Amino acid sequence: MANNITWVGMDDSAKTINLAIFRGQENNPREESIVTNDSTGLGRMVKKLKAISGEVRCVYEAGVNGYHLQRFLAKHGISCDVAAPSLTPRRAGKRVKTDKLDAKALARLYRAGELTCIFIPQNEQESLRDLVRAREDALEDQQRARHRLARFLMRRGLKYASGKNWTQGHLRWVKSLRFEDDRDQMVLDEYQLILAEQTDRLQRLNAKIEEVAKQPTYEKRVRYLMALKGIRVLTAMTIIAEALDLRRFTDAPAFMAAIGVVPSEDSSGEVERRGRITKTGNNHIRRVMIESAWTYQHSSVSGKTVQNRRNGLPAEVIEIARQCDKRLHQKFRRMASRGKDRKKIAVAVSRELAGFVWAMGKVA
């Protein structure tokens, strides 16, 4: 049966797609070709692949071109998987890398079952993911604008002494500043203008995400996730957009591994060596998990806001949330009492928080 399968490795770039076609267990490809990455080239590629007798399986690595190629092939009835680049085996000592060689290597690894293929989102799911990531970009741009303005003021010996930065009082203070040199004043005005634009952009994206969260498709899942302390609308929507469906993970450790919060390991024989977290997988979920984990350094008793979020939820959901409150607070306090670095504690707590998030996704 395996000898009747045609394996096609593809290395796609913005302009071209390199193909390496293997039949069964052949050591060398029976055909290699290059097509342009446009409607004409894709049409020729589909015609070539559909002319092959028997089952055809294609694969390429996820990259900047997204899932367009996979969807195009699937539309024409051709099986295509997308491999996770960070999990593709790399040969030690390899010093030559070309698109042609990459296409052949992908086909061989795919045939051997050595590739980890990713879950392909539907168009609606990808649109939500892009919206959430656009919000993250806006947040980064706002932070960058703040840093530039703050550094400019520090170079002029100006520092706000009446409270925290970026509060309404601080922004009023910045707006009241005046420089004698018109060049300095122009720089200040431009930095303020950029910051205001980025803040408005962030607020628009926040409002849109919160609006989408109220849709029937997402409302239930958002409410369940928000039962967990430290998770609000934007965090919940980030998890939903990036994980797509938490039920696709077989268990909690699988979800933890997918977001890179499990410790790396280099063990041999009776010697066990565990290091820092792997940081492989989805960094967007990992970031919000770590941010949320800081909440559990405080009391395990939920405040009024969290209690209101839990009102009306099923008893099973509330019980998961209460177990999370107790377990993660104890873990944070226990590790802190041993003198552990608080940043490392937050990472360790985020790993267990990911387990409770998976549990919420399972019952949603």
Residues 204 and 274 in one domain: no
Note whether residue 118 is domain-resident.
no
Does this model's pTM top 0.95? My answer is: no
Residue 268 has pLDDT above 80, yes or no: no
221 and 199 within one domain? no
pLDDT of residue 95: 72
Do 208 and 241 lie in one domain? The reply is no
Task: Evaluate if residue 350 carries a pLDDT over 90.
Answer: yes
Task: Mark whether 257 and 347 lie in a shared domain.
Answer: yes
Q: How far is CA 164 from the centre of its chain?
A: 31
Say if 117 falls within a structural domain: no
Q: Say yes or no: 207 and 255 in one domain.
A: no
Identify the domain boundary among 59, 83, 112.
112
pLDDT at residue 281 greater than cutoff 90: no
pLDDT number for residue 64: 81
Question: How much is the average pLDDT of 317-321?
Answer: 96
Confidence of residue 272 (pLDDT cuts 50, 70, 90): low
Q: Tokens for 63, please give them.
A: 């990259």
Residue whose entry in the numeric block shows the structure tokens 């086909």: 107
Greatest extent of the chain over all pairs of C-alpha atoms, in Å: 82
Assess if residue 279 is contained within a domain: yes
Confidence of residue 73 (pLDDT cuts 50, 70, 90): very high
**Is pLDDT above 80 for 157?**
yes
The pLDDT assigned to 269 comes to: 63
Pair (252, 351) in one structural domain: yes
**pLDDT number for residue 273:** 64
CA 181, 183, 187, 189 dihedral sign is positive
Same domain membership, residue 331 and residue 299: yes
Q: What is the count of structural domains for the chain?
A: 3
DSSP letter string, 218-283 = HHHHHHHHTTSTT--HHHHHHHHHHHS-GGGSSSHHHHHHHTT-SEEE--BTTB--EEEE---S-H
Query: Is the pLDDT higher at 90 or at 173?
Result: 173
Cβ neighbours around 204 below 10 Å, total: 12
Q: Is 120 helix (H, G, I), strand (E, B) or coil?
A: coil
| Residue range 127-152, pLDDT digits in tens | 999 999 999 999 999 999 999 999 99
Q: Are residues 65 and 153 in the same domain?
A: no
CA distance 98 to 104: 10
User: Helix 216-225 to helix 233-243 angle, to the nearest 10 degrees?
Assistant: 110
**Co-location of 240 and 358 in the same domain:** yes
Same domain, 358 and 222: yes
Other Cβ atoms less than 10 A from the Cβ of 320: the count is 21
The enclosing domain of 47 has a CATH number of 3.30.420.40
Instruction: Report whether 188 contacts 152 (CB < 8 A).
Output: yes
Name the token pair of 195: 């910051």
| 260-298 burial: b if 16+ Cβ within 10 Å, else e | bbbeeeeeeeeeeeeeebbebbbebbbebbbebbbbbee
Percentage of residues in the chain having pLDDT higher than 90: 85
Q: Where does a domain end: 57, 85, 112?
A: 112
Q: Is the pLDDT of residue 267 over 80?
A: no
pLDDT value, residue 86 = 79
pLDDT for the residue numbered 2: 59
Mean pLDDT of 244-254: 92
Secondary structure, 3-state, 54-114: CCEEEEEECCCCCCHHHHHHHHCCCEEEEECHHHCCCCCCCCCCCHHHHHHHHHHHHHHCC
Question: How confident is the model over 228-250, as a mean pLDDT?
Answer: 94
For residue 277, the model assigns a pLDDT of: 80
The model's pLDDT over 3-41, given as tens digits with 9 standing for 90+, comes to 789 999 999 999 999 999 999 999 999 999 999 999 999
> What range defines the domain where residue 235 resides?
216-363
Closest-CA residue to 347 (of 298, 265, 287, 300): 287
**220 shares its domain with 246:** yes
Q: Which of 52-66, 83-97, 200-214 has the lowest mean pLDDT?
A: 83-97
User: Length of the chain in residues, anyone?
Assistant: 364
* 302 band by pLDDT with thresholds 50, 70 and 90: confident
**Residues 6+ positions from 156 with CB-CB distance below 8 Å:** 179, 184
8 A C-beta contact, residue 87 and residue 257: no
Task: Select from 159, 191, 213 the last residue of a domain.
Answer: 213
pLDDT of res. 1: 52
Residue 149 in any domain: the answer is: yes
308 and 357 belong to one structural domain: yes
pLDDT tens digits, one per residue of 161-200: 999 999 999 999 999 999 999 999 999 999 999 999 999 9
92 pLDDT more than 90 = no
Instruction: Give 332's pLDDT tier (boundaries 50, 70, 90).
Output: very high
Query: Any idea which of 35-39, 92-96, 163-167, 211-215 has the lowest mean pLDDT?
Result: 92-96
Q: Is the pLDDT of residue 228 over 70?
A: yes
- Any domain includes 332: yes
Q: Is the per-residue pLDDT at 51 higher than 60?
A: yes
State the burial class of residue 355 (Cβ atoms within 10 Å of its Cβ: 0-12, 13-18, 19+). middle
Q: Is the pLDDT of residue 266 over 70?
A: no
- State the DSSP code for 3: G
Q: Give the three-class secondary structure for 17.
A: strand
